[in-house]
Amino acid sequence: MSDYIDGTFIGYPPKIVRSFTNRRAAPAIETLLGMDKTGKPIPKLTRATKENSAAKTLTLTLKKRVQFHDDNDFNADAVKWNLEQHMATKDPGTERFQSIDVVDNYTVRINLNRRIIFCPHIFIDNAY
């Protein structure tokens, strides 16, 4: 995979591109959720998801003992950082996110700016 998209160096942190790049990178990148044959969301890097529509929050419980290729731990800080990168680029779906809180090492709470029905596709299509 090239470091360039439309002649521009991706850089660090990498630019988020809206193309088929994620599909090409799929063997090396895991998503928070996946989808079974019926279209139902299934855990990948999460163990559980919990919606609280009254409080307008979505809580993700992450799998433990997962590491990145550089041996850094996959944890709530990493998920928060990634989600905030997507929010900064106004990635579709993240306009519903007001803020992200790290509850503990393996729990992330997404504070929503309005009540929504949980749309898991935003955690399936992108490498959050």
Q: Averaged over 38-49, what is the pLDDT?
A: 87
Q: Which pTM value belongs to this model? A: 0.76
Per-residue pLDDT for 20 more than 80?
A: no
d(CA 49, CA 59): 6
Q: Averaged over 63-67, what is the pLDDT?
A: 93
Mean pLDDT of the chain: 78
Higher pLDDT, 30 or 3: 30
Q: Is 10 helix (H, G, I), strand (E, B) or coil?
A: coil
Structural domains in the chain, sorted by start? 30-124 (3.40.190.10)
DSSP type of residue 40:
-
